[in-house]
């Protein structure tokens, strides 16, 4: 069937028919035929369109609800760009209200998918908050439902994912953060308890990511957590030494944000280990999905605030270990998420003078990079995430029509063991460079 363009034929039929029962069957069949490849799923989902998908929620049937929500989830993962902002499209078509209603379903699989989709609508890749969508979730009474799921759901995975969704709704939004903390019996201690007592490492990783998200760029929450709770280095180290790059990358991000809760290690050491592991995944992983996550984490850390509570020199450390070149290399990927995340991260890195200099050098060697940077960072009616000085320097370079530069990269992959406080763990060459920054 696939060889005979069945997917294309089904999509055309779905686009033409107005019969509800046929629409739901076509939609479910079409989504099944797309397979497990996310890139292909997003291509089909884009063809169907957000407006049509949200309209399908009105059809009186429950068989198709998971499929619609799963399609919206795949779309919401995309980085906003000049031509497309999925978060805004779903919001404008009242998709958020439909998703909140689904949280009351008895179907655990559907509830889980709805929670994850809401998370991506509240915060985009690189921890770019969508304040408008956060406010819609607040005004639509989504917070009490999510808090209830986090505290009382029978399923541990729903508890963990609901907590993560709440953290996204609260990200850089003091009003939502305050409402969450005063809703029902919400407690950061419940999240800590999941980290320390769950027998499932996936649940633990989601829970610690929830804690890191609540603390991200929120000095009040971070200080409160540091004064009340603590986490062991060994908890994070089991993920950092894992062969699973996804877990390793997430834990590396978390250890940087939550370094104040780890009393056994100096923050400079945990910051260096976190940045080094994220860079290693970006450099060495064969999976585009893992490299996309690494780029996402770099984007998050690139606009992590620096004050007495937070991290100093994280962005400079990332630049020092060739993150600019590694992120530019992702533009050759066929994975749209990886490309978008890389462009986003580079935009934030360009706001640092050294990052701007390195990025301009790479753009002069590969002029096609600049249009991609603008495509993802210079959105209409929004402040540019790309350095204006970089854009001015690039325009000046184009005016003078200077020749392309050769882009030479010498990258070391060596590693060695370094003792830290009478304990030995593997420190790669990237981490060694990062230590000098901190």
pTM attached to this predicted model: 0.89
Q: Where are the alpha helices (DSSP H) in 103-232?
A: 108-122, 131-139, 142-152, 156-170, 174-181, 188-197, 201-215, 219-228
Contacts of 321 (CB under 8 A, 6+ apart): 275, 276, 279, 430, 433, 434
Q: Judge whether 8 lies within some domain.
A: no
Residue 245: CATH number of its domain: 1.25.10
Q: Judge whether 375 lies within some domain.
A: yes
Q: What is the C-alpha separation between 209 and 264, in angstroms, rounded?
A: 20
Backbone dihedral angles phi then psi of residue 380, each to the nearest 5 degrees: -60, 140
User: Which residue, among 261, 254, 266, has the nearest Cα to 423 in the 3D structure?
Assistant: 266
β-partners of residue 416 are 427
* pLDDT digits (tens), the chain, 438 positions: 454 477 778 878 888 888 888 888 888 888 888 877 778 888 888 988 999 999 999 988 888 999 999 999 999 999 999 999 999 999 999 999 999 999 999 999 999 999 999 999 999 999 999 999 999 999 999 999 999 999 999 999 999 999 999 999 999 999 999 999 999 899 999 999 999 999 999 999 999 999 999 999 999 999 999 999 999 999 999 999 999 999 999 999 999 999 999 988 898 899 999 999 999 999 999 999 999 999 999 999 999 986 544 455 899 999 999 999 999 999 999 999 999 999 999 999 999 999 999 999 999 999 999 999 999 999 998 999 999 999 999 999 888 765 555 555 443 333 333 333 333 344 455 555 555 555
Q: What is the C-alpha separation between 127 and 134, in angstroms, rounded?
A: 13
Look at residue 65 and give its three-state secondary structure. helix
β-partners of residue 420 are 423
**Does residue 142 contact residue 169 with C-beta atoms inside 8 Å?**
yes
β-partners of residue 425 are 418
How far, in whole angstroms, is CA 9 from its chain's centroid?
34
**Does residue 44 contact residue 30 with C-beta atoms inside 8 Å?**
yes
Q: Judge whether 320 lies within some domain.
A: yes
The residue segments making up the domain with residue 283 are 234-438
Query: Rounded to a whole number, what is the distance in angstroms from the first to the last CA of the chain?
Result: 57
Tally of domains within the chain: 1
Q: Judge whether 400 lies within some domain.
A: yes
Q: Judge whether 327 lies within some domain.
A: yes
Q: Judge whether 308 lies within some domain.
A: yes
Q: What is the C-alpha separation between 212 and 258, in angstroms, rounded?
A: 6
Q: Judge whether 338 lies within some domain.
A: yes
Q: Judge whether 310 lies within some domain.
A: yes
Q: Is 295 exposed, middle or buried (0-12, 13-18, 19+ CB in 10 A)?
A: buried
């Amino acid at each position: 069937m696939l060889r005979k363009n069945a997917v294309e034929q089904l999509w055309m039929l779905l686009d033409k028919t107005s019969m509800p029962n046929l629409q739901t069957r076509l939609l479910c069949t079409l989504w099944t035929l797309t397979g497990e490849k996310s890139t292909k799923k997003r291509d089909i989902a884009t063809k169907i369109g957000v407006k049509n998908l949200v309209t399908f929620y009105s059809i009186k049937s429950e068989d198709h609800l998971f499929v619609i929500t799963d399609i919206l989830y795949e779309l919401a993962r995309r980085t906003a760009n000049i031509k497309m902002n999925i978060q805004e499209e779903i919001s404008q078509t009242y998709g958020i209200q439909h998703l909140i209603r689904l949280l009351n379903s008895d179907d655990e699989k559907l509830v889980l998918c709805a929670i994850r989709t809401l998370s991506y609508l509240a915060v985009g890749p690189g921890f770019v908050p969508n304040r408008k969508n956060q406010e819609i979730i607040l005004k639509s009474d989504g917070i009490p439902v999510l808090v209830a799921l986090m505290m009382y759901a029978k399923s541990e995975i729903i508890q963990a994912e609901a907590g993560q969704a709440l953290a996204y709704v609260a990200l850089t939004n003091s009003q939502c953060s305050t409402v969450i903390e005063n809703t029902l019996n919400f407690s950061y201690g419940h999240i800590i308890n999941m980290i320390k007592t769950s027998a499932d490492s996936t649940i633990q990783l989601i829970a610690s990511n929830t804690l890191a998200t609540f603390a991200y760029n929120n000095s009040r929450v971070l200080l409160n957590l540091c004064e009340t709770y603590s986490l062991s280095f060994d908890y994070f180290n089991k993920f950092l030494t894992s062969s699973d790059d996804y877990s390793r990358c997430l834990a590396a991000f978390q250890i940087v944000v939550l370094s104040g809760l780890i009393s056994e290690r100096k923050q400079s050491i945990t910051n260096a280990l976190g940045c080094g592991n994220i860079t290693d995944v970006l450099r060495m992983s064969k999976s585009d999905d893992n490299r996309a996550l690494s780029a996402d984490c770099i984007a998050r850390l690139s606009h992590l605030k620096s004050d007495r509570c937070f991290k100093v020199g994280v962005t400079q450390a990332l630049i020092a270990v060739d993150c600019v070149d590694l992120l530019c290399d992702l533009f050759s990927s066929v994975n749209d998420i990886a490309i978008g995340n890389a462009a986003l991260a580079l935009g934030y890195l360009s706001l640092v003078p050294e990052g701007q200099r390195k990025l301009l050098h790479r753009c002069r060697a590969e002029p096609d990079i600049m249009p991609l940077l603008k495509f993802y960072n210079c959105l209409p009616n929004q402040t540019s995430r790309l350095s204006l000085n970089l854009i001015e320097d690039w325009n000046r370079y184009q005016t003078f029509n200077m020749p392309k530069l050769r882009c030479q990269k010498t990258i070391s992959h060596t590693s060695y063991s370094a003792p830290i406080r009478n304990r030995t763990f593997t420190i790669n060459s990237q981490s060694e460079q990062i230590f000098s920054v901190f």
